[in-house]
């Protein structure tokens, strides 16, 4: 089983030193969230993840969730740990105090998301979709529904799901077949089948609150006729207690490559009682409140799995002896593999990406809170534009790089990595879903280039470019070499952005073929932006903690020298166009 130590020191560095968004710091609701409080939270989070949740990863992989006589049973140990998990209040961490939440900002809850992703992604998914459903209900439902359902969801005694996909439609939700028939009392009877429903059924909670998209009988075809419904597994009585089983049954559980402890279900709705959330035919936009949050969280899943893969690779590389690293070695018959240049390069590649991702996520979490809570509408909108732009980047780049890092971790372990004994191959399998669900990474890239670069609020990418350029304006001479490299790649991103926006007007195929390359170029430059922020602090506060900041500076140097050049490669490949691709004749 892999070992794991939560990176609390690095998280606290970000919270204490990079909490520099002026508008975030103006938010009154978070004035009392002090570093001491956050450190206490993260240290307690580390304990439950390291000691209780981490062992569930192997348990769930070896004893997957099963469907038995119509009942879904979670792996051994899940029930007991889940009970402790909700008793300690982890489901309520970022929820509204009005419904029993602790009201912590995403600058804190994102760290917890990373930790639990490292410990056991399969276990995490049972509560993760609950938080997504909570957010959707919190934003779009009326007070009666909020008061009836949210307190139990926040407490963790009821869980939630997101029911979109059907056998006839995945991304193209306009094709959905699930029907909603209005009843005289204002409720709806929901009939249809949903597939690939994460945590669709299980034995951890008293009730499961499904958010289901369906088409009312009088609604138009396509995406314009989609509405959103709350459909509980068990009917909830007027006094809030559990009533009869609703018309929902589990048809099967998917047999998956990874995250085997998570029950991915086929759900059959047979005239199940549901409540419409928000206006009729506006369900897709409401569901995206949940979807967009989930996409960022999926990126954090990739980050979390990368972190545990790196930690174990580093530990193994220090212990494993094999070969002579160079002609000067005097270590007897063999050196530890960490002495070999290629292994060191692999480890630094992991480390530089992971720490850059964590810093970028922290920047994005501040933007998210500003977009939701600032008093000034324009400031909220500007922050929302940044969140919109970065959502596909975080989801796609972090999950793709998670595949690179877990693959490299297997390579560091050699034959042992390919066997089940060390648990490294499980990290690879568990992470493999992250580039696929919540919209595949190619869908994210298309969304980025066709919808996010410019929108009704103007040229969003130029707003971002202006932000990152301003970060490079430093008088610190030690930062100059990094800034010069950074400006070179900002220029590439700027040219690539202009090319994409112009090409979208004349040749959609060129832009489609270049979309993934554009997303990665934007992503690598964004990570460099995060590293510039870290470097500013590292040089300024160097004497406070020389060992820590030396480590940051040298890791950043590796990123700028060895990883960031990928951005230019993607740019050059992309602007060659799509004619060869589209004209190629497949046999």
Contacts of 326 (CB under 8 A, 6+ apart): 339, 341
Is-contact 39 8, C-beta < 8 A? yes
For residue 209, list its beta bridge partners.
160, 232
For residue 280, list its beta bridge partners.
none
Is-contact 93 109, C-beta < 8 A? yes
Catalytic residue among 182, 438, 544, 568: 438
How, if at all, do strands 66-68 and 71-73 pair?
antiparallel
DSSP conformation class of 327: T
Q: What whole-number distance in Å separates Cα of residue 390 and Cα of residue 221? A: 31
Q: Please, how many CA atoms are within 13 Å of residue 274, restricted to the half-sphere of its CB?
A: 33
Q: Is 438 a catalytic residue?
A: yes
CA angle in degrees (0–180, nearest 5) for 135-398-428: 105
Q: What whole-number distance in Å separates Cα of residue 258 and Cα of residue 429? A: 5
Q: What whole-number distance in Å separates Cα of residue 125 and Cα of residue 11? A: 22
Give helix 508-540 / helix 480-506 axis angle, nearest 10°.
160
The encoded tokens of residue 573 equal 């490949």
Is-contact 12 35, C-beta < 8 A? yes
What residue ranges in 412-533 does DSSP mark as E strands? Answer: 454-455, 458-459
Helix, strand, coil share of the chain (percent; to 5): 60, 15, 25
Q: Is 249 helix (H, G, I), strand (E, B) or coil?
A: strand
- Using CB atoms within 10 A of its CB, is residue 526 exposed (0-12), middle (13-18) or buried (19+)? buried
Would you please indicate which residues are annotated as catalytic (active-site) residues?
Answer: 438
């Amino acid at each position: 089983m892999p070992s794991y130590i939560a990176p609390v020191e690095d998280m606290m560095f970000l919270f204490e030193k990079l909490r520099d968004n002026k508008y975030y710091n103006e938010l009154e609701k978070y004035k009392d969230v002090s570093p001491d409080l956050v450190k206490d939270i993260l240290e307690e989070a580390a304990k439950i993840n390291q000691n209780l949740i981490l062992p569930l990863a192997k348990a769930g992989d070896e004893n997957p969730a099963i469907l038995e006589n119509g009942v879904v049973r979670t792996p051994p140990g899940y029930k007991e740990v889940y009970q402790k998990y909700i008793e300690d209040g982890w489901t309520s961490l970022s929820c509204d105090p009005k419904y029993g939440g602790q009201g912590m900002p995403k600058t804190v809850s994102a760290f917890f998301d990373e930790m639990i992703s490292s410990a056991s992604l399969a276990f995490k998914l049972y509560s993760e979709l609950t938080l997504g459903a909570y957010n959707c209900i919190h934003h779009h439902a009326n007070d009666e529904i909020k008061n009836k359902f949210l307190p139990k969801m926040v407490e963790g005694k009821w869980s939630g799901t997101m029911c979109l996909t059907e056998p006839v439609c995945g991304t193209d939700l306009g094709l959905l077949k699930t029907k909603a028939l209005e009843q005289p009392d204002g409720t709806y009877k929901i009939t249809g089948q949903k597939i690939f429903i994460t945590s669709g059924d299980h034995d951890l909670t008293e009730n499961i609150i499904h958010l289901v998209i369906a088409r009312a009988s009088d609604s138009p075809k396509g995406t314009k006729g989609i509405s959103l419904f709350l459909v509980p597994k068990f009917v909830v009585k007027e006094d809030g207690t559990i009533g009869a089983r609703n018309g929902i049954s589990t048809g099967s559980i998917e047999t998956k490559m990874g995250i085997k402890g998570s029950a991915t279900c086929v759900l059959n709705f047979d005239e199940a009682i549901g409540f419409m959330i928000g206006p009729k035919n506006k369900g897709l936009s409401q569901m995206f409140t949940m979807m967009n949050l989930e996409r960022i969280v999926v990126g954090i899943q990739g980050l979390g799995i990368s972190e545990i893969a790196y930690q174990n690779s580093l530990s193994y590389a220090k212990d494993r002896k094999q070969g002579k690293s160079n002609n000067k070695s005097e270590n007897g018959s063999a050196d530890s593999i960490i002495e070999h240049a290629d292994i060191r390069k692999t480890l630094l590649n992991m480390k530089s990406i992971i720490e850059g991702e964590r810093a970028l996520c922290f920047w994005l979490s501040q933007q998210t809170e500003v977009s939701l809570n600032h008093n000034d509408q324009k400031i909220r909108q500007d922050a929302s534009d940044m969140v919109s732009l970065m959502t596909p980047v975080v989801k796609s780049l972090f999950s793709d790089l998670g595949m690179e890092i877990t693959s490299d971790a297997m390579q560091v372990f050699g034959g042992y990595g390919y066997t089940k004994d060390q648990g490294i191959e499980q990290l690879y399998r568990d992470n493999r879903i992250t580039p696929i669900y919540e919209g595949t990474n190619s869908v994210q890239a298309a969304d980025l280039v066709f919808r996010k670069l410019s929108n009704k609020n103007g040229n969003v990418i130029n707003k971002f470019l202006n932000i990152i350029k301003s970060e490079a304006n430093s008088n610190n001479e030690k930062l100059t070499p990094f800034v010069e490299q950074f400006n070179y790649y900002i220029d590439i991103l700027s040219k690539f952005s202009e090319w994409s926006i112009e090409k979208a007007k004349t040749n959609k195929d060129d832009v489609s073929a270049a979309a993934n390359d554009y997303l990665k170029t934007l992503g690598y430059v964004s990570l460099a932006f995060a590293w510039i922020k870290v470097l500013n602090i590292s040089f300024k506060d160097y004497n406070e903690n020389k060992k820590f900041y030396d480590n940051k500076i040298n890791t950043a140097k590796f990123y700028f020298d060895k990883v960031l050049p990928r951005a230019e490669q993607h740019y050059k490949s992309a602007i060659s166009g799509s004619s060869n691709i589209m004209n190629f004749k497949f046999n």
